Structure 1
Amino acid sequence: MRPSKVGVVISQGKMQKTVKVRIQNTNWNRHVDKYLVSYRNMLVHDELNKCREGDVVRIQYVRPLSPKKSWAVAEFIKLKGTSWVKYLEEIPAQVQKEELEKLEEFNANNTAANISNSSLTSAFANLELPADTIPHLSLDKFDTKISKIEKEIELRDRIDAETHRILDEEPQLTAEIAGSASNPSIKKNLVRKYVKNKIHKEE
Structure 2
Amino acid sequence: MARQNFVGMVVSHGKMDKTIKVRVQRIKFNKLVNKNVVRFTDFLVHDEANKCKEGDVVRIEYVRPLSARKSFSVTEILKNKGLSWIKYREDAPAVVAAEELRKVTQYKRDRESRLGLDGTPTVSEQLDVLRTAYNTQNFVPEHARTEEQKEAVAKVIAKYTPDGFLPSFASGPLYDLPIDKLRAELKALDGTIEQASFSKHAAAVLRDEPARADAILRAMGKIDPSAVPRNIKKNLLMKYFVKTLGEQKQEATA
Q: TM-score, normalised by structure 2?
A: 0.40
Pick the structure with greater CA Rg: 2
Q: Larger relative contact order (C-alpha < 8 A, sep ≥ 6)?
A: 1
TM-score normalised over the length of structure 1? 0.48
